[in-house]
């Protein structure tokens, strides 16, 4: 792995997170450092409102109803605000899009004529009044427009997005939505943000024994075989402490997956490079008034940098 330093006062770091907590697990130290020196914005595609096990535990209900899932989503949004506050971000540095947890693949592959309906919240439009576009239908165009709007307003120099080969579907499709929005933003824009991918879910790797926590994080072997470039970012002790405090704000998640979450408390964070030419290849798939063009691009079409 190559050492990478994103630092510098000119850095404008945009972190795209599928669920509240991914941003802190993958890049809490990097966010804290960037917040102290430069500008950071975090955008959440979903509010994590489809985690049945978490809803039952948090809401103390055996058979959760749609309102329980929505209440849980609001709770997770509050946790995200607190966690990012610990890392030095304010309310203005955070955007929630409010799309459905567990539904990003369904939205990507679905039809714009029939918005996706969440089996948990039963919503087919963004239900959260404090999201970027309340009432936006659950269709691919809504997500891409929202992400493009965030990019246009924040003008990032670096974007962190989920790894396109993460084993969680929401993460893979969050990557595709982000790449598509970045491709759209790129048109007519000479300044191109650097893109890096972070990994959260990858089988046994994600639950590596806590005994390893003092060791530097490394990508799973099978991710190295593809010869993509991986980078390591040092997390100094002061920022690691902030990351630990930020993780502790995600109480609803710690109740269920504490070992998994604490596994990311390491002296480094890792990112994979993404070939910028991907943007050119993805660009033509976006048609503002097209029909099902988006659905023809499977996740496998996204290859990482050699
Ligand atoms: Zn996630």
pLDDT, mean of each 10-residue run, the chain (306 residues): 88 98 98 96 97 87 92 97 98 98 92 91 97 96 94 95 93 92 71 89 74 78 78 96 98 92 93 75 46 39 40
Distance in Å, CA 190 to ligand 1 centroid: 32
What's the number of domains the chain is made of? Answer: 1
Q: Which residues sit with Cβ closer than 5 angstroms to ligand 1, an ion?
A: 18-19, 22
Distance in Å, CA 22 to ligand 1 centroid: 5
Most distant CA atoms of the chain, gap in Å: 53
Residue whose C-alpha is closest to residue 40's, from 20, 10, 75: 10
Specify if 300 maps to a domain.
no
Specify if 217 maps to a domain.
yes
Specify if 50 maps to a domain.
yes
Specify if 274 maps to a domain.
yes
Distance in Å, CA 187 to ligand 1 centroid: 29
**Tokens 């964070």, residue?**
269
CB atoms within 10 A of CB 287: 11
Distance in Å, CA 19 to ligand 1 centroid: 5
Distance in Å, CA 292 to ligand 1 centroid: 26
User: First vs last Cα of the chain: how many Å apart?
Assistant: 13
What confidence score (pLDDT) does residue 205 get? Answer: 76
What confidence score (pLDDT) does residue 188 get? Answer: 59
Residues 6+ apart with CB under 8 A from 221: none
Distance in Å, CA 255 to ligand 1 centroid: 16
Distance in Å, CA 26 to ligand 1 centroid: 10
What confidence score (pLDDT) does residue 24 get? Answer: 98
What confidence score (pLDDT) does residue 17 get? Answer: 98
Distance in Å, CA 86 to ligand 1 centroid: 20
Q: Is 101 exposed, middle or buried (0-12, 13-18, 19+ CB in 10 A)?
A: buried
Distance in Å, CA 188 to ligand 1 centroid: 32
Distance in Å, CA 174 to ligand 1 centroid: 10
Specify if 169 maps to a domain.
yes
Distance in Å, CA 226 to ligand 1 centroid: 23
Whether residue 126 contacts residue 133, with contact meaning beta carbons closer than 8 Å, is answered with yes
Q: What CATH number is associated with residue 257? A: 3.40.50.10320
Distance in Å, CA 128 to ligand 1 centroid: 19
What confidence score (pLDDT) does residue 225 get? Answer: 67
d(CA 241, CA 220): 25
Q: 0.75 exceeded by the pTM?
A: yes
Specify if 299 maps to a domain.
no
Specify if 129 maps to a domain.
yes
Tokens standing for residue 226 = 């593809």
Distance in Å, CA 18 to ligand 1 centroid: 5
Specify if 298 maps to a domain.
no
Residue whose C-alpha is closest to residue 248's, from 264, 262, 263: 262
Distance in Å, CA 289 to ligand 1 centroid: 30
Q: Which element (helix H / strand E) includes 149?
A: helix 140-154
d(CA 122, CA 68): 11
Distance in Å, CA 114 to ligand 1 centroid: 25
Q: DSSP 3-state assignment of 278?
A: helix
Residue 108 domain boundaries: 2-291
What confidence score (pLDDT) does residue 206 get? Answer: 72
Distance in Å, CA 115 to ligand 1 centroid: 22
């Amino acid at each position: 792995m190559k050492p990478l330093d994103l630092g510098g006062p000119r850095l404008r770091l945009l972190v795209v997170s599928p669920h509240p907590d991914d941003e802190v697990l993958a890049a809490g130290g990097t966010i804290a450092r960037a917040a102290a020196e430069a500008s950071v914005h975090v955008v959440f595609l979903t509010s994590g409102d489809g985690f049945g096990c978490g809803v039952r535990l948090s809401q103390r209900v055996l058979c959760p109803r749609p309102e329980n899932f929505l209440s849980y989503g609001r709770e997770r949004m509050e946790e995200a605000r607190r966690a990012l506050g610990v890392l030095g971000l304010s309310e203005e540095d955070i955007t929630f899009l409010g799309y459905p947890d567990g539904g990003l693949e369904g939205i990507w592959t679905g039809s714009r004529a029939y918005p996706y309906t969440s089996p948990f919240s039963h919503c087919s439009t963004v239900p959260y009044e404090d999201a970027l576009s309340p009432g936006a239908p659950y269709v691919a165009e809504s997500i891409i427009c929202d992400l493009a709007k965030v990019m246009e307003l924040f003008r990032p120099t670096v974007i962190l997005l989920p790894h396109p080969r993460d084993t969680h579907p929401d993460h893979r499709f969050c990557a595709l939505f982000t790449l598509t929005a970045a491709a759209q933003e790129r048109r007519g824009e000479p300044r191109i943000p650097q893109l890096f991918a972070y990994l959260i879910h990858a089988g046994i790797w994600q639950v590596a024994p806590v005994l390893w926590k003092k060791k530097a994080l490394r990508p799973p072997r099978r991710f190295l075989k593809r010869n993509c470039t991986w980078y390591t970012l040092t997390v100094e002790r002061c920022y690691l402490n902030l990351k630990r405090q930020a993780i502790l704000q995600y109480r609803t998640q710690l109740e269920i997956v504490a070992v998994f979450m604490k596994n990311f408390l390491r002296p480094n964070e890792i990112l994979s490079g993404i070939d910028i030419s991907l943007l050119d290849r993805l660009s033509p798939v976006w048609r503002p008034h097209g029909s099902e063009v988006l659905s023809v691009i499977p996740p496998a079409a996204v290859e990482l940098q050699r």
